[in-house]
Amino acid sequence: MFEGQPKGLFALALANTGERFGYYTMLAVFVLFMQENFGMNAEEAGSYYGNFLMLVYGMPLVGGILADKFGYGKMVTIGVVIMFLGYVLLAVPLGADSVAKWAVIGALGLISVGTGLFKGNLQVMVGNLYDDPKYANKRDSAFSLFYMAINIGALFAPTAAVKIMEYAQGTLGYTAADSYHFAFAVACASLILSIAIYFVFRPTFKHVEGGKKKADATAAPVEELTPAETNARIVALCLVFAVVIFFWMAFHQNGLTLTLFANEFTAKSATGVQGMMFDVLNLVAIIVIVYAAFSIFQSKTSKAKAISGVVVLAALAFLGYQYVSTSSEVVSVSAPIFQQFNPFYVVALTPVSMAIFGWLAAKGKEPSAPRKIAYGMLVAAVGFVVMAVGSMGLLTPDEQAAAGDAATFVSPYWLISTYLVLTFAELLLSPMGISFVSKVAPPKLKGLMMGGWFVATALGNKLTEVGSAFWGELPLVTVWSIFIVLCIVSAIFMFVMMKRLEKVA
């Protein structure tokens, strides 16, 4: 799985891991912070959330245009500095008046601009590593690994947010509203780590940073395309962009309506195996078991296989100890902590998905990237079917808020299961989509086209507001059905356009 990849992949992936850890720590509590600190309702907080995500994922278009001219590495460095200033501004507690609100808006603007310069261009650099014919056949697997690294950062983010807030309230005596700023401060520290990794390991990827001064003999020759070939590729990419708008609209309900569901409709405590799932250390142990088990089968020496077996047994022993010592304890379940399940599943399932697609590739039956995206949309629809089933018979959000002791709460397993299904969809769509863009984009427009991917993501994130707009009077089943229909229609569109997409893939 890791063999045969250029060293630059791991350096860039780790740099992105640090940045994503900070970003998702902030995002895990953002909507709840806007409600707690400024007294906003779900729709108002959802508007801020949607607009912020739209900017975060829209600005890479500008960042890509600048990088195509001035170089990807330069834009990445400038972006980290701007992001850092934004997180610093969020970390300062300024109260709840209009000045504080404008400070939050300014901070979100800085983070958006910084991310626009950083995120897309880092991914272009990853793709550039695979323009070398020696690595060309590993492009899809590389982006799966890169995506996994992103989610390692995201895995620990919700726990970090919750724990630092608990420390601020319980030990330092801060109010609930002020404690959110400690979660935002975590992002500042993670960015320092991210840029340190970037510069320490820069020699492994310096040749793909772009810019006139960066060109050298080790760079792969630029592919020349006819105008017709260029147009065909751009059209194919735009068709994919149109579909992923609706995927991200549905998927990023994890920070909005799914978080609201966790906060308003999900049981606030858990015990036994269910309770163990809310301890990130137990999730890490499961990840260790998955990777060590794969290592047993993939290792080339008996010694390596034996070591991997010992690691599996040690992780199982740890989980056994945890069950014996903590299964009877009542674990408090807070809404932000549910956001750890998506990155957990991404990290744990990436080797599984890579193994499946590797096996299919060996038999000559691996689906194309566009076909994987279409399947991903269908799987996403199934994820919201799970939510619809779990919401049957529940009150509307407005009725739940007024119900008092008569309010009904459901098992955390509904959300945990939904995140599992949505993660399968994400693994089919997101890393494969990024890989498709890096492969198909005309060589002189790579930054722009990667920016286009993020613009599609931005529009989808803006449309997340649809969920919060309907959150209140409508039955929950109706809310989830909106996303079911959108995902199915998008999948059908992909299948109709498949011949055109696969022609350039």
- Residue that finishes a domain, picked among 315, 332, 349: 332
Please state the pTM of the whole predicted model.
0.77
Q: How far apart are CA 114 and CA 79, in angstroms?
A: 4
Residue 215: the pLDDT is 45
Q: Which residues contact 383 (CB under 8 A, 6 or more apart)?
A: 418, 419, 421, 422, 425
Question: Is position 307 within any domain?
Answer: yes
Per residue in 409-419, pLDDT (tens digit) is 999 999 999 99
Query: Domain range holding 278?
Result: 269-332
Which residues have a Cβ under 8 Å from the Cβ of 185 and sit 6 or more positions away?
87, 91, 164
Question: Is 223 among the domain residues?
Answer: no
Count of all residues that appear for the chain in the document:
505
186 close to 164: Cβ distance less than 8 angstroms: yes
> Which of the two residues, 404 and 377, has the higher pLDDT score?
377
- Please check the confidence at residue 498 and state whether its pLDDT lies above 80: yes
220 band by pLDDT with thresholds 50, 70 and 90: low
Residues with Cβ within 8 Å of residue 226, at least 6 apart in sequence: none
Secondary element (H or E) of residue 303: helix 302-326
Q: pLDDT tens digits, residue range 230-264?
A: 888 899 899 989 988 999 899 888 878 998 999 99
| Per-residue three-class SS string for 354-386 | HHHHHHHHHCCCCCCHHHHHHHHHHHHHHHHHH
Other beta carbons within 10 angstroms of residue 350's beta carbon come to: 24
Q: Which two tokens stand for residue 156?
A: 């620990």
Domains: count for the chain = 2
Residues 170, 297, single domain; the answer is: no
Whether 217 maps to a domain, the answer reads no
pLDDT of 33 higher than 70: yes
178/282 same-domain check? no
Same domain, 317 and 427: no
Quote the tokens at residue 255: 């920070």
Supply 52's token pair: 């912020």
- Based on the fold, state whether residues 323 and 245 are members of the same structural domain: no
Residue matched to tokens 């975590």: 186
Residue 443 lies in a domain: yes
User: Burial, 362: exposed, middle or buried (Cβ in 10 Å; 0-12, 13-18, 19+)?
Assistant: exposed
| pLDDT more than 70, % of the chain | 97
Element (H, E) at 300: none
Q: Is the pLDDT of residue 395 over 70?
A: yes
List, in sequence order, every residue forming a beta bridge with 32; answer none if it has no partner. Answer: none
| Statement to judge: residues 94 and 49 lie in one domain | yes
Classify the phi-psi angles of 332: left when phi > 0, otherwise alpha if psi is within -120 to 50, otherwise beta.
beta
Q: Do 247 and 196 belong together in one domain?
A: yes
Q: Is 81 left (phi over 0), alpha (psi -120 to 50) or beta?
A: alpha
- 493 φ, ψ (degrees, to nearest 5): -60, -45
Query: Each residue of 112-139: pLDDT tens digit?
Result: 999 989 988 888 888 888 888 887 777 8
Collect all residues with Cβ–Cβ distance below 8 Å to 497 and sequence separation of at least 6: 239, 370
Structure tokens at 275: 């309770």
Q: Residue 3: count other Cβ atoms within 10 Å of its Cβ.
A: 7
**Straight-line distance from the first to the last Cα atom of the chain, in angstroms, rounded to the nearest whole number:** 23
Are residues 257 and 472 in contact, defined by beta-carbon separation less than 8 angstroms?
Answer: no
In this prediction, residue 308 has a pLDDT band, given cuts at 50, 70 and 90, of very high
Predicted local confidence at residue 214, as pLDDT: 45
* Spatial contact of 258 and 338, defined as CB atoms under 8 Å apart: yes
- CA–CA separation, 386 vs 423, rounded Å? 13
CA atoms of 167 and 173, how far apart (whole Å) = 9
Q: What is the band of 312 on the pLDDT scale with cuts at 50, 70, 90?
A: very high
- Give mean pLDDT, residues 166-173: 90
Q: How far is it, in rounded angstroms, from Cα 441 to Cα 266? A: 44
Which among 285, 311, 332 is the end of a domain? 332
Domain end, chosen from 332, 359, 379, is at 332
Q: How confident is the model at residue 149 (pLDDT cuts 50, 70, 90)?
A: confident
Which is more confident, 395 or 461?
395
Q: For residue 212, is it within any domain?
A: no
Q: Round the average pLDDT of the chain to a whole number and report it.
A: 87
The pLDDT value given to residue 300:
83
In this predicted structure, what is the pLDDT of residue 425? 92
For residue 112, give both structure tokens: 């958006």
* Closest among 46, 27, 40, 146 to 86, alpha carbons compared: 27
Which pair of tokens denotes residue 436? 């498709």
245 and 310 both lie in a single domain:
no
Dist. CA 83–CA 87, nearest whole Å? 6
436 Cβ contact list (under 8 Å, min separation 6): 237, 240, 369, 370, 373, 505
Distance CA 119, CA 451 (A): 9
Kind plus residue range of the DSSP H or E element containing 269: strand 269-270
Q: Give me the CATH number covering residue 170.
A: 1.20.1250.20
Q: Are residues 295 and 421 in the same domain?
A: no
- Residue pair 369/433 in contact by the 8 Å Cβ criterion: yes
Q: What is the mean pLDDT of the segment spanning 38-55?
A: 84
In a domain, 479, yes or no: yes
Residues 18 and 71 in one domain: yes
Q: For the residues of 209-224, what is the DSSP string, one character each?
A: S-SGGG--TTSPPPPP
189 with 79, same domain: the answer is yes
| 217, pLDDT greater than 50 | no
Q: Determine, yes or no, domain membership for 215.
A: no
Amino acid letter for position 125:
M
Task: Give the pLDDT mean for 481-494.
Answer: 93
Residues 198 and 316 in one domain: no
Domain annotation covers residue 105 = yes
The 10 Å Cβ neighbour count of residue 71 is: 21
Q: Are residues 348 and 278 in the same domain?
A: no
